[in-house]
Amino acid sequence: MINEKMYGYGAAKSAIREISAYAARRKAQIGAENVFDFSLGNPSVPAPDEVRAAIERALELPPTELHGYTPAAGLPAVREAVAASLNRRFNTAYTADNLYLTAGAAASLSITISAITRPGDEVVVIAPYFPEYRVWIESAGCTCVEVLADRSTFEIDVDAVRRAIGPRTSAVIVNSPNNPTGAVYSRENLERLAAVLNKKSCELCRPVYLICDEPYREITYGAEVPWVPSIYARTLVCYSYSKSLSLPGERIGWVLVPDTCPDAGRVMLAVAGAGRALGFVCAPALFQRVLADCVDVPSDVEAYARNRDALCQGLSDAGYTYVEPEGAFYLWVRALEPDAEAFFRRARDHELLPVPSTSFGVPGWVRVGYCVSYETITGSLPAWRALADEYRAQGEEQA
Ligand code: PLP
């Protein structure tokens, strides 16, 4: 006997991974320069030099220390360094005790969800959303409740969230800057959300937590990314260095439980307990040490900004509509027919490989990941134009 639920997660193919595997096969057939793979969120900017220098310094440690276990929550000095960096940036007073280091945002989110829910609870997500949220919510025995984002801005539709919250709601997950839309939630909207969550927590006599998934916090093009724990007390922040320092394979991040959170000490112990239960203790030790030296290293967003500008200009010239991206490295483009999968198949015929929006829980769009080379962006533009022309010609024929 096996666990059928786990079997289901293993057997269900990730559309994003499938598209990326197809891209690799296709590149082998017709040449890499002729295939435009926009599927994965793998940073195209190299990790900063400071990371390499920090690795080299860490390698000087005695091997038993370097490769040994750390405390389950991570090295205290590293957590202290992360806390000090947050304090400098957000005028807070966190300490090592507010942080639990994790293997990336994935571990951070699954730990947090398990820590603050009980089986049978509901967790609200804003659609379109990162597909793994559903897996983590359901594997904690909870129900994933989808609430559509605002149709034009892709901001949180706060009234719709209010309507979705019921006696079993334990948390709302928000992700800003957003994957897949590139939206950055405004302070004003987050304040409206906080007012709703405060009211609901009072009415329901139970805390409704806000889980902020923030791996793209530093990847923005001028927009303010408000520090949400300063807006809503029951906020837990899940962070990773996968995107900001281009370290997705190294699996390093953290959960922050701020002291403003009622019962913060107990919540932190539940986080530690969930880490223990899920087997996520002692985040990768080498990269804990790297963090201590790199917490204030800025993200290099210049290449993403250049890609974003070229892609937006090219697609808008070809007649596409999209959400103006304020952060992350994804462009959310309106499909040229209602069926995103059908649009994807026609794009694929032009060697264009975005991700259909069905993967993110909504119809009618595709996500174009622009964390690729500049040449991939510029090289793809004739194909985007040809695809749009094909739809236009078909429309004229049918008219
Ligand atoms: N949350 C969002 C919105 C993401 O886009 C990703 C990765 O792409 C993750 C979480 C997981 O990040 P990590 O690689 O740090 O586990």
Q: What is the pLDDT of residue 399?
A: 67
Looking at residue 396, its pLDDT comes to 77
Non-local (6+) Cβ contacts of 191 within 8 A are 231
* Helix, strand, coil fractions of the chain, as percent rounded to 5: 50, 15, 40
pLDDT for res 13: 81
**pLDDT mean by block of 10 residues, the chain; 399 residues:** 93 90 97 96 96 98 96 98 98 98 98 98 98 96 98 96 98 98 98 98 97 98 97 98 98 97 96 97 97 95 98 98 97 98 98 97 98 98 98 83
pLDDT at 248: 97
At 91, the amino acid letter reads N
The pLDDT assigned to 395 comes to: 83
Is the distance from the beta carbon of residue 226 to the nearest atom of ligand 1 less than 6 Å?
A: no
Q: Which residue ranges form the domains of the chain, and what is each CATH number?
A: 4-47+299-398 (3.90.1150.10), 49-294 (3.40.640.10)
Q: pTM to 2 decimals? A: 0.96
Give the Cβ contact number of residue 214 at 10 Å. Answer: 24
pLDDT at 267: 98
Task: Residue 204: name the closest of 234, 167, 235 by CA.
Answer: 167
Atom of ligand 1 nearest to the CA of 41: 8
The minimum-distance atom of ligand 1 relative to the CA of 242 is 15
Ligand 1 center to residue 276 CA distance, Å? 21
Q: Distance, CA 130 to ligand 1 centroid (Å)?
A: 8
